[in-house]
Structure 1
Amino acid sequence: MTLEQNTIFYAFSKGFCRVLLTLYNRLHIKNVPALPEGRPVIVASNHNSNLDPVVVGVAYPRKLKYLAKEELFKVPILSYIIRHLGAIPVSRQDEHKAGVILRTLLEILSRGEDILIFPEGSRSFDGKLQPMEGGVAMLASHAKAPILPVCVKGTFEAMPRGSSVPKPKK
């Protein structure tokens, strides 16, 4: 797939998801940031639901790359979609090797691409903010990239952990 097709697919998917989330979940976006030109950004968000990467991706004005567990890439259609929407597979073994993840994220940032990370590591079990894993500040320091903190609300109610289909919650 060419870069142009990938850009078209990304834009189409982002637009489609935005319309769907707006109609079905009454998506409301506040405080869209002014982003620095020519510098990659680390977007750090809370993580309540499988909807979070989609919601942040829809709200964020530029393309994002993010890490996703490799099990998601075993489903052919899902794999095709998330790969072209910026997901990069990470194995459960790699999750425990901070160096592997750090190198991957630094490489993405060095190419000038923005990344989405969830400092909590995994989704919340109760919708509340979980303890943060280390690394965000270190990553920002090494990459000399600003951190954009993001708060996503309502995704836990719409699609809590264990759900496979979102509910029409705001």
Structure 2
Amino acid sequence: MTFYSFARNVVKLALKPIYRMEVIGLEHFPKEGGVLLCSNHINNLDPPVVGITAPRPVVFMAKKELFEAPVLGKIIHHLQAFPVKRGMSDREALRKGLSVLKEGKVFGLFPEGTRSKTGELGKGLTGAGFFALRSNAKVIPCAIIGPYKPFRKIKVVYGPPVPMDELRKNKASAEEATEAIMSQIQQLLHTYR
């Protein structure tokens, strides 16, 4: 058993009794090939919740500061997460993200870059569009809906792939691609709230 599977089982055991999770749309999730998984961000528990509900292991990009925490840093490193310097263009993180997708893995991103204080979807950063346009990965939108209150339901909704072929063909900007992704996440929030 890999460390990822072990950690996933531990997190499942810890979170399932507290939060009633309903997972919708797993049929949209590609069984193989590179996947750029883009989700809204409402709580610190979003990465583990996505990690335990996605049908394939997810490699996350996480802020560099988390890797400097003594215990947490080691754990997230073993979960194959990699660091990004926030607030600047981090070329190493961009290269690493593209290589994760080229290797046919699932790369998890929170395009807003930070948690939403209001629960409403914020503006997405251009990184999501960059990865979507520079790779041939399928882009799967994800909406996490719920108050993260004990014994209340949390919905994790995976939507159909965001159509990217036209944007790639027309050499769209990273900003336009990010807007297309965010509008699909917004649509899921609107439909399933």
Is the TM-score greater than 0.5?
A: yes
Q: Name the amino acid aligned to 1:142.
A: R
Q: Counterparts of 1:42-53 in structure 2 under 5 Å?
A: 42-53=36-47
Q: Specify whether residues 148 and 9 from structure 1 end up closer, same or farther in structure 2 by C-alpha distance, changes over 3 A only.
A: same
Counting aligned pairs with the same residue, the percent is 36
- The SS at the match of 1:33 is helix
**Alignment partners' CA distance in 2, 1:71 and 1:169:** 31
Structure 1 position 140 matched with structure 2 position 132: yes
1:168 alignment counterpart: 150
- The SS at the match of 2:17 is helix
Q: Specify whether residues 111 and 17 from structure 1 end up closer, same or farther in structure 2 by C-alpha distance, changes over 3 A only.
A: same
**Alignment partners' CA distance in 2, 1:169 and 1:134:** 36
Q: Which has the higher mean CA deviation after the structures are superposed, 105-114 or 60-69? A: 105-114
From 75, 85, 88, the counterpart of 1:81: 75
Instruction: Give the length in aligned residue pairs.
Output: 152
Q: Name the amino acid aligned to 1:113.
A: K
What value does the CA root-mean-square deviation take over the aligned residues? 1.9
The higher-RCO structure (CA 8 Å, 6+ apart) is 1
From 22, 30, 37, the counterpart of 2:16: 22
Is the 1:66–1:115 contact (alpha carbons within 8 Å) kept by the matching residues of 2? yes
Q: Name the amino acid aligned to 1:168.
A: P
Structure 1 position 149 matched with structure 2 position 141: yes
For residues 102-141 of structure 1, what are the alpha-carbon distances to aligned partners after superposition, in whole Å with 9 as ceiling and x for unaligned? 3221121122221001111111111111111123233222
- The SS at the match of 1:61 is coil
Segments of 5+ residues of structure 2 without an aligned counterpart are: 153-193
**Alignment partners' CA distance in 2, 1:122 and 1:112:** 26
Segments of 5+ residues of structure 1 without an aligned counterpart are: 1-6, 159-166
Q: Name the amino acid aligned to 2:143.
A: C
Q: Which has the higher strand share?
A: 2
Q: Name the amino acid aligned to 2:21.
A: L
- The SS at the match of 1:58 is helix
Under a length normalisation based on structure 1, what TM-score does the superposition of the two structures give?
A: 0.80
2:115 alignment counterpart: 123
- The SS at the match of 2:73 is helix
**Alignment partners' CA distance in 2, 1:25 and 1:67:** 25
For residues 25-55 of structure 1, what are the alpha-carbon distances to aligned partners after superposition, in whole Å with 9 as ceiling and x for unaligned? 1222122135434411000000111111000
**Alignment partners' CA distance in 1, 2:83 and 2:57:** 17
Q: Specify whether residues 101 and 16 from structure 1 end up closer, same or farther in structure 2 by C-alpha distance, changes over 3 A only.
A: same
* Structure 1 ranges of 4+ moved more than 6 A: none
Under a length normalisation based on structure 2, what TM-score does the superposition of the two structures give?
A: 0.71
1:70 alignment counterpart: 64
Is the 1:38–1:112 contact (alpha carbons within 8 Å) kept by the matching residues of 2? yes
Is the 1:22–1:28 contact (alpha carbons within 8 Å) kept by the matching residues of 2? no
Is the 2:111–2:128 contact (alpha carbons within 8 Å) kept by the matching residues of 1? yes
**Alignment partners' CA distance in 2, 1:99 and 1:75:** 23
